[in-house]
Amino acid sequence: MDRTHAWIMVALLFLFMLINFADRAVLGLAAVPIMQDLGLSHTEFGLIATSFFTLFSVGGVIGGFLVNRVATKWVLAALAVIWSLCQLPMMLSISVAALVANRVALGFGEGPAYPVALHAAYKWFPSERRAVPTSLIAIGALAGNGIAAPVIVAIVAAWSWHAAFGLLGLFGLIWCIVWLLMAREGPLVPNNVNAGDPAARLSYRQLFRYRTAIGVQVVGFCAYWLLTLAVVWLPVFLTQAFGYTPVQTGWIMMLVSLGQIVLLPGVSILSDGLKRRGITSRLACGSVACASTLTAGLIVILLARSEGSVPIIACTMIAFSLCNVMFVLGPVLIAEVTPAEQRGAALGVTNAITTLAGPLAPVVTGVVVDIGAHPAEGIRTALLIAGGLAILGALAGFLIIDPEADRARNQPDSRGEVQPALPLA
């Protein structure tokens, strides 16, 4: 029964993240009509998109520490209610100021979503079996950005962008009701996991000096830059730089999600399988995640130079699928070096740091596009910047991430004291 309910929880968390990212992606999918209705430039729209991240990291940190003490069932329900209440007013005519305030509030409510959802799932799965459920929950986020894209675009075309926001708010409330009826905490709670563990608790200063924490944050920041472009700017890129219609763009976004649906579980099964065969987590998780980010950066650079429909679609699908591998294997790495009673906070803080790319990527991209001789040229330049950043971050991650070394430092010495993390080699 516990095993069955564990996968029921994963299914609910999949839907939770689907709604989460659909709420976030609707702004980008409706970017052109919103810019037309409100008379916005690319830079102004980039600033509005960036406002979503004003309190995003703050919300992530607060949510992470909160679930160390409060059941995830209630925290996740509260988050879904916040999103829904943010979306429903968008059915009315609004000003630019109201749109900005709405995105700030939505960002605060969505900041803790992914780390809290993973913390809830990790109460049902041991370390060597976490990559697959993590990938399925991550796919929910990616489905919200891609598979829901044609539906959102169709709603915008048939009715208005206001209607798309309102329907997403309604879906959020429905999910909340189902969640409250079916959800419960998993059996792998901190008291069970850490019983007899001499390193049951670390100082957060020590924890975030670990090589693995720093490496995941560096690579995650660079990968999140790409993910933010996919959520906020990719629909605009495809229409204004590569000449696709809004409907075609929606289908291309769906292809990206389908690529992720195939890729992420496959990579997760590979990673879990390697660990069960005795391969170190540094290789099974860290190197796989960094290699995926490196490849994504190279392909984004290729995309910036591509012409012709097939190369553009192939590069878009592969690059924006691979960049998400870090968000599946990164949390697994953080959980490996973190005591379970501190896991919620560690995941929340790490997510807050990696998502600092969120406020930067949209506005930097908007400025680059506006100062270009032509929007299409500016878009290609923005892709070159994003690809180069991903490559640099991945190379740093190969050198830094090492969960086995971090766990070795977390062992008591001859006096029974835990030694502090050593500086990076």
* C-alpha–C-alpha distance, residues 233 and 255, integer Å: 16
Read off the tokens for 230. 């996919």
User: What is the full DSSP assignment across 47-106?
Assistant: HHHHHTTTTHHHHHHHHHHHTTTS-HHHHHHHHHHHHHHHHGGGGS---HHHHHHHHHHH
Q: Which two tokens stand for residue 236?
A: 């605009």
For the record, the structure tokens of 191 come out as: 């008291």
Q: Which of 364, 378, 7, 19 is nearest to 172 (CA)?
A: 19
Higher pLDDT, 116 or 56: 116
Cα radius of gyration rounded to whole Å, the chain: 21
Residue 217: count of CB within 10 angstroms of its CB: 23
**284, 271 contact by CB (below 8 A):** yes
120-133 average pLDDT score: 84
389 or 241, higher pLDDT? 389
pLDDT band at 343; cut points 50, 70, 90: confident
Name the percent of the chain lying above pLDDT 90: 21
CB-based contacts of 374-381 (< 8 A; 24+ apart in sequence) = 375/42, 375/240, 375/241, 376/240, 376/241, 376/242, 379/233, 379/236, 379/237, 379/240, 379/241, 380/241, 380/304, 380/305, 381/304
Category of 308 on φ-ψ map: left (φ > 0), alpha (ψ -120 to 50) or beta: left
Alpha-helical (H) ranges within 305-356 are: 309-322, 326-336, 343-354
Structure-derived torsion over alpha carbons of residues 21, 68, 214, 333, reported in degrees to the nearest 10: -80
Q: Is the pLDDT of residue 412 over 60?
A: no
Q: Is 173 helix (H, G, I), strand (E, B) or coil?
A: helix
Q: Alpha-carbon distance 9 to 116, whole Å?
A: 13
Q: Is the pLDDT of residue 326 over 80?
A: yes
Please state, in angstroms and rounded to a whole number, the distance separating the CA atoms of residues 288 and 387: 18
Among 198-207, 257-266, 283-292, the range with the most confident prediction by mean pLDDT is: 283-292
The SS3 call for residue 370 is helix
CA–CA separation, 12 and 184 (whole Å)? 11
Terminal CA-CA length for the chain: 46
Higher pLDDT: 97 or 42? It is 97
- Per-residue pLDDT tens for 178-213? 999 998 888 776 544 343 344 456 777 888 889 999
- Residue 372, SS3 per DSSP: coil
Q: What would the pLDDT profile of 54-88 be if each residue is shown by its tens digit?
A: 888 888 888 888 888 888 889 999 999 988 888 88
- For residues 53 and 125, is the Cβ–Cβ distance under 8 A? no
Contact 297, 390 (CB under 8 A): yes
pLDDT at residue number 193: 39
pTM for the model stands at 0.74
Domains by residue range for the chain, with CATH: 9-182+202-409 (1.20.1250.20)
